[in-house]
């Protein structure tokens, strides 16, 4: 990783430098039926910075971004950072209660919001977030004494073409709930592009990413201007070898740490093309993306890869343009890897990253994949596997994964106790159980809070799930602990079967025999429960706590 200069603004690094040497005419973004060049994206970003300044946004003020993947997101995210403010992308699938907490927690000067989410945001803006009806105090100190603005993005506007007769803010009330409302497109059209970026340092805060973790309220990981450059150099260039000739698509959205790198700053850093999809990345929609845009880099989570395998009429040529497919979010089972490789000829590069580390820090490499593992360390990162007291475990032993690297967050906003628990000096505690083999490959053994003791022995659900998905009738699965009628913990497996497979007693018996043949007796689930789908987060991770709740009423569905 080259040494960053003392004066460093991430927006300049990822946006402005693409204009040098004729790079401004290259295609930067594909969105719907239009494409934008790097010069057009830069103009949007410069206008975004100017629009925020006109909304009284100053360096270190927070700008909350509640936008779907679009050029407007790039204008808002890079525009805020260019101004020296702090960009805070929010998940567009959350509730008004979630937004109420994040608004109170971050105390923003400006929000940029999709028009169809405006009512939810205004509800959140006037909603108390504490049991006693008061709003929590924040460290920002802005409060209601300052003018605050909501910039509203029209759902059908692509921002690629602007004119003097764009619809203005007149369709919105001048003031609502203490916020001034303005039209984003009009604000961009009327602003004068900022001539230069605010002078910031690589260690200055640039953006926050909210993460909920397994329990508790969301917490904002504070990332600095230099963090994206670190991930770009270490992973995008060091592992994926991204170049200006690549065209990338990410099923994971921009408001997630994984998607933010995949679809925004990785391609921007390389001068490559990115394909932005406003709506959810369904299996059928992804198929259309592959057919129409022919991406060379493809990013998704394991459940989407499993769903794509269910496209029985999809030809092998569907993936012929993809030189590299990446998986993250949760461990990719070896059986799923093999099925995908056999069906489409694509080897998926599984890896592990986190919001706290910003992107992937352990990854498989092209041509050197160890199916079922997370791979080896990405250049620039170190890792330890330790016991609960922080002592290194014996070689090959399972323990808690700690990692360190220059992309680590500075801490959590307004969460000193959680910051101390997660960040131990230079080390970040991931909350994952891992082991490392003699070749340096890291093997995921589950989340620390997913581990179970059965018959006095620790059990990782991941090992059982990997065995389950190796059965030809199983598409997806998840394993949790369940208490039997005498109070002992047993294993319960929820399985999603192929459409052609009927959840008959004979099939469940066959699955059970398959497990007994490849697992120790104490690791074989006592209950198998066929379900149509698994409850998941918006990132595609299985919500085991919901399965545990469901499990309380399904103990008798299928017992073995």
For the chain, list residues with pLDDT below 70.
127-146, 155-177, 213-216, 456, 486-488, 551-560
Report how far apart, in Å, the C-alpha atoms of 378 and of each of 235, 306, 332, 341, 460 are: 6, 26, 18, 23, 25
pLDDT at 415: 95
Q: Which CATH superfamily is domain 222-448 in?
A: ANL, N-terminal domain (3.40.50.12780)
E strand or H helix that includes residue 274: strand 273-276
Hey, what CATH class is 10-25+38-194 in?
alpha beta
pLDDT at 127: 61
In whole angstroms, what is the distance from residue 42 CA to residue 366 CA? 33
Q: Where are the domains of the chain?
A: 10-25+38-194, 222-448, 451-551
pLDDT at 215: 45
Q: State pLDDT tens for residues 112-162.
A: 999 999 999 998 887 654 434 444 444 334 444 447 999 999 854 444 443
Q: State pLDDT tens for residues 198-209.
A: 999 999 999 999
Of 308, 324, 166, 301, nearest in space to 241 by CA: 324
Distance of CA 541 to the CA centre of its chain: 10
Residue 384 has what DSSP assignment?
E
pLDDT at 138: 41
In whole angstroms, what is the distance from residue 346 CA to residue 72 CA? 33
Query: Is 451-551 in the same CATH topology as 10-25+38-194?
Result: no
Q: Which CATH superfamily is domain 451-551 in?
A: ANL, C-terminal domain (3.30.300.30)
């Amino acid at each position: 990783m080259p040494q960053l200069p003392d004066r460093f603004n991430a927006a300049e690094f990822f946006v402005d430098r693409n204009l040098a040497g004729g790079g401004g005419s290259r295609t930067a973004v594909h969105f719907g039926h239009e494409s934008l060049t790097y010069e057009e994206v830069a103009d949007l970003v410069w206008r975004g910075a100017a629009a925020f300044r006109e909304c009284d946004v100053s360096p270190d003020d927070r700008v909350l971004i509640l936008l779907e993947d679009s050029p407007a997101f790039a204008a808002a995210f890079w525009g805020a950072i260019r101004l020296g403010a702090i960009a805070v992308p929010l998940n567009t699938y959350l509730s008004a209660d979630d937004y109420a907490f994040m608004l109170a927690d971050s105390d923003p000067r400006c929000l940029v919001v999709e028009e169809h989410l405006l009512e939810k945001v205004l509800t959140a803006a006037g909603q108390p977030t504490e049991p006693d009806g008061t709003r929590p105090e924040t460290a920002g100190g802005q409060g209601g004494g300052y003018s605050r603005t909501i910039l509203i993005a029209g759902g059908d506007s692509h921002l690629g073409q602007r004119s003097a007769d764009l619809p203005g803010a007149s369709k919105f009330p001048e003031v609502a709930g203490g916020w001034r409302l303005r039209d984003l497109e009009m604000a961009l059209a009327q602003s004068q592009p900022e001539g230069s970026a605010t002078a910031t340092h690589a260690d200055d805060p640039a953006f926050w990413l909210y993460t909920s973790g397994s329990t508790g309220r969301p917490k904002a990981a504070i990332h600095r201007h230099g963090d994206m450059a670190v991930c770009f150099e270490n992973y995008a260039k060091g592992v994926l070898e991204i170049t200006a000739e690549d065209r990338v698509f990410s099923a994971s959205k921009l408001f997630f740490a994984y998607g933010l790198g995949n679809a925004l700053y990785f391609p921007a850093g390389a001068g490559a093309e990115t394909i932005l999809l406003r709506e959810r990345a369904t299996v059928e929609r992804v198929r259309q993306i592959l057919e129409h845009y022919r991406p060379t880099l493809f990013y998704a989570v394991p459940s989407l890869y499993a769903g794509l395998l269910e496209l029985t009429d999809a030809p092998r040529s569907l993936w012929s343009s993809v030189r590299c497919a990446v998986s993250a979010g949760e461990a990719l089972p070896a059986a799923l890897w093999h099925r995908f490789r056999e069906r489409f000829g694509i080897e998926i590069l599984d890896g592990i990253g986190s919001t706290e580390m910003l992107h992937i820090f352990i990854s498989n490499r092209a041509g050197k994949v160890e199916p079922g593992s997370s791979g080896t360390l990405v250049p620039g990162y170190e890792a330890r596997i330790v016991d609960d007291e922080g002592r290194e475990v014996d070689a090959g032993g399972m323990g808690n994964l700690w990692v360190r690297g220059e992309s680590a967050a500075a801490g959590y906003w307004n969460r000193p106790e959680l910051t101390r628990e997660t960040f131990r000096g230079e080390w970040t505690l991931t909350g994952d159980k891992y082991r490392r083999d003699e070749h340096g490959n890291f093997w995921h053994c589950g989340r620390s809070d997913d581990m179970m003791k059965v018959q006095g022995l620790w059990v990782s659900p991941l090992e059982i799930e990997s065995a389950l998905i190796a059965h030809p009738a199983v598409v997806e699965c998840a394993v949790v602990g369940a208490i039997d009628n005498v109070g002992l913990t047993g294993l319960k497996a929820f399985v999603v079967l192929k459409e052609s497979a009927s959840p008959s007693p004979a099939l469940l018996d066959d699955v059970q025999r398959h497990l007994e043949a490849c697992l120790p007796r104490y690791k074989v689930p006592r209950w198998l429960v066929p379900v149509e789908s698994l409850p998941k987060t918006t990132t595609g991770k299985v919500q085991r706590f919901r399965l545990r709740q469901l499990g309380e009423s399904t103990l008798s569905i299928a017992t073995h």
